[in-house]
Amino acid sequence: MIWMSGTDKLCTYVNEPWLDFTGRSHEEELGNGWAEGVHPEDSGECLKIYAKAFDSRKPFEMRYRHRRHDGEYRWILDKGVPRFNPDGSFAGYIGSCIDVTERRLAAEAVQKSDERFRLAAKTGKMFAYEWDVGCDQAVGGERTDSRD
């Protein structure tokens, strides 16, 4: 999803994938309209990051939840960079957004699985090690019981 803003911080353009994602019209998304879809818990921080980067003319990256056309909030990775005219004057920002919800959920699942494994290993007084395929033997390893 692509967006652009002018020198006044207001959105001047969003592309078709953006409109498909939000289910809203181009006119609804322009100006500050795009921010209506940002999750209320993320809105303040999102706008703060944007304004700070904008005022300093620096690139930014942020993650926030945005409402999709079906009403579900999805995690968005939003990256923006300043644009400049040929004479070097500031022209606004251009940015792109991608839906990273599945990636975020997968990372959370891996973290929870790792936590469960550590707890199970400690409770079960297990021994963990890695197998080095190159030399076909166990390497490292540590006790995982509470006697350590």
Domain ranges of the chain: 2-99, 104-143
- In CATH, the architecture of 2-99 is 2-Layer Sandwich (3.30)
Q: pLDDT tens digits, residue range 13-26?
A: 999 999 999 999 99
> Concatenated DSSP letters for 44-63?
HHHHHHHHHHHHHT--EEEE
Task: Please give the structure tokens belonging to residue 6.
Answer: 């002018």
Q: What is the pLDDT of residue 132?
A: 74
Task: Please give the structure tokens belonging to residue 33.
Answer: 């309209």
**Cross-strand bridge partners of residue 60:** 80
Q: pLDDT tens digits, residue range 68-116?
A: 999 999 999 999 999 999 999 999 999 999 999 988 766 666 676 667 6
Q: What is the pLDDT of residue 102?
A: 83
**Cα–Cα distance, 92 to 14 (Å, whole number):** 14
